[in-house]
């Protein structure tokens, strides 16, 4: 395969194609599920009907004119790249950002990779005795993110395509209100778009995690829960009442000294999560909620948000390790 030609046909930098080739090499990929069973799988993954219809319309059938040889190569090698890191927990880009307006195959290539890897990660979950309900709840984040990307008029996917590799490598688990991300010394917390961030829901999710990780990953040792988010920015206290769910969530964490995060713009991330738009002019941002008013007023005043890191000391249960011994 001529990588320069592949890059030219895909409309992406040669370096991005070379990275996929280097990381995937000749490693095995994973086959797509049978097309006849795909609608049921998409439904189980909470993919909305409009997104499911696009995915089915662009299915990479043999001989489909929607799929160029270069696209098929990228689907196969990006799937192999992600599969090779099964069990890993670092962020991982599956491949280059594609010009998604060129059709459903281009738009959903990395969604097809997720579908191909579903069976692989379910086997990984079974090997770790992960309850089936946790598996499917976790993997259903695919549907949630496709729906958000549609709401964002396709602005959100470049981040989401890397985010979803955490799920299909067994790195992340949705336990109640929070998503819990395996790490080295801490379990990182992520907050999906899934209802109020009430103290009771947070307590229940953290309690689940304290039992979950020692039981299913007994060789891993965690000292804390960690979170990196604009939600931990103390400036929010200038706008939100002390009894708001966000401020109560903040108070759980011991914040690390602020450092400008490399390669991450907190203002952009706030716009992504609060407004689901990266291009709406500031004077046209909605003001329906207290949080929207706070974020918009802060930016319109020429101020900036911060991405803050915090930790919660946590004693993960040792009882599960004893039970497995």
DSSP track, 254-307: EEPPP-PPTT--HHHHHIIIIIS-SSS-GGG----SHHHHHHHHHHHTT-----
- The pLDDT value given to residue 316: 83
| Sheet strand arrangement including 186-190 | 172-175, 178-181, 186-190, 224-229, 308-313, 254-255
The rounded distance, in Å, linking the Cα atoms of 176 and 212 is 12
Scanning the structure block, which residue is given the tokens 């931990």?
232
Domain 176-325 is of which CATH architecture?
3-Layer(aba) Sandwich (3.40)
Using an 8 Å Cβ cutoff, are 73 and 5 in contact?
no
- The pLDDT value given to residue 95: 97
pTM of the complete model: 0.93
- The pLDDT value given to residue 317: 65
Residues paired with residue 255 on neighbouring β-strands, in sequence order: 310
The gap from C-alpha 64 to its chain's centroid, in whole angstroms, comes to 30
- The pLDDT value given to residue 253: 97
- The pLDDT value given to residue 260: 84
Domain boundaries, the chain: 3-174, 176-325
What secondary structure letter does DSSP report for 222?
A: -
- The pLDDT value given to residue 325: 32
pLDDT digits (tens, 9 = 90+) for 58-75: 999 999 999 999 999 999
The rounded distance, in Å, linking the Cα atoms of 142 and 118 is 11
Collect the ranges in the chain with pLDDT lower than 50: 319-325
> Which residues 6+ apart lie within 8 Å of 163 measured at CB?
91, 145
Question: Residue 176, by phi and psi: left (phi above 0), alpha (psi -120 to 50) or beta?
Answer: left
What phi, psi does 289 have (nearest 5°)? Answer: -120, 165
Using an 8 Å Cβ cutoff, are 196 and 245 in contact?
yes
- The pLDDT value given to residue 35: 97
The dihedral formed by the CA atoms of 96, 118, 57 and 14, expressed in degrees to the nearest 10: 10
pLDDT digits (tens, 9 = 90+) for 295-321: 999 999 999 999 999 999 988 865 443
Using an 8 Å Cβ cutoff, are 182 and 169 in contact?
no
């Amino acid at each position: 395969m001529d990588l320069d030609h592949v890059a030219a046909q895909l409309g992406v930098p040669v370096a991005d194609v070379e990275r996929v080739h280097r990381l995937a090499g000749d490693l095995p990929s994973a086959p797509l599920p049978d097309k006849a069973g795909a609608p049921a799988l998409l439904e189980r993954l909470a993919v909305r009907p409009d997104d499911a219809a696009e995915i089915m319309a662009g299915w990479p059938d043999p001989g489909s004119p929607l799929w160029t040889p270069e696209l098929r190569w990228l689907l196969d090698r990006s799937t192999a790249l992600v599969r090779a890191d099964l069990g890993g927990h670092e962020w991982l880009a599956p491949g280059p950002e594609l010009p998604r307006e060129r059709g459903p195959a281009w738009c959903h290539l990395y969604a097809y990779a997720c579908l191909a890897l579903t069976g692989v990660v379910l086997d990984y979950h079974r090997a770790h005795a992960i309850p089936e309900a946790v598996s499917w709840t976790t993997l259903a984040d695919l549907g949630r993110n496709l729906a958000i990307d549609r709401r964002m008029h396709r602005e959100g996917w470049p981040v989401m395509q890397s985010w979803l590799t955490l799920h299909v490598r067994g790195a992340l688990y949705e336990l109640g209100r929070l998503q819990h991300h395996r790490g080295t010394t801490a379990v990182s917390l992520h907050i999906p778009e899934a209802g109020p961030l009430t103290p009771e829901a947070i307590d229940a999710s953290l309690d689940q995690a304290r039992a979950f990780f020692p039981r299913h990953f007994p060789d891993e040792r965690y000292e804390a829960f960690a979170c990196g988010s604009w939600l931990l920015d103390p400036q929010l206290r200038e706008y939100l009442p002390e009894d708001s769910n966000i401020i109560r969530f903040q108070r759980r964490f011991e914040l690390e000294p602020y450092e400008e995060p490399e390669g991450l713009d907190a203002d952009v991330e706030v716009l992504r999560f609060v407004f689901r738009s990266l291009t709406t002019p500031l004077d046209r941002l909605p003001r329906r909620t207290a949080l929207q008013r706070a974020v918009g007023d802060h930016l319109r005043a020429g101020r900036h948000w911060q991405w803050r890191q915090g930790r919660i000391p946590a004693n993960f249960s040792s009882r599960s390790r004893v039970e497995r011994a």
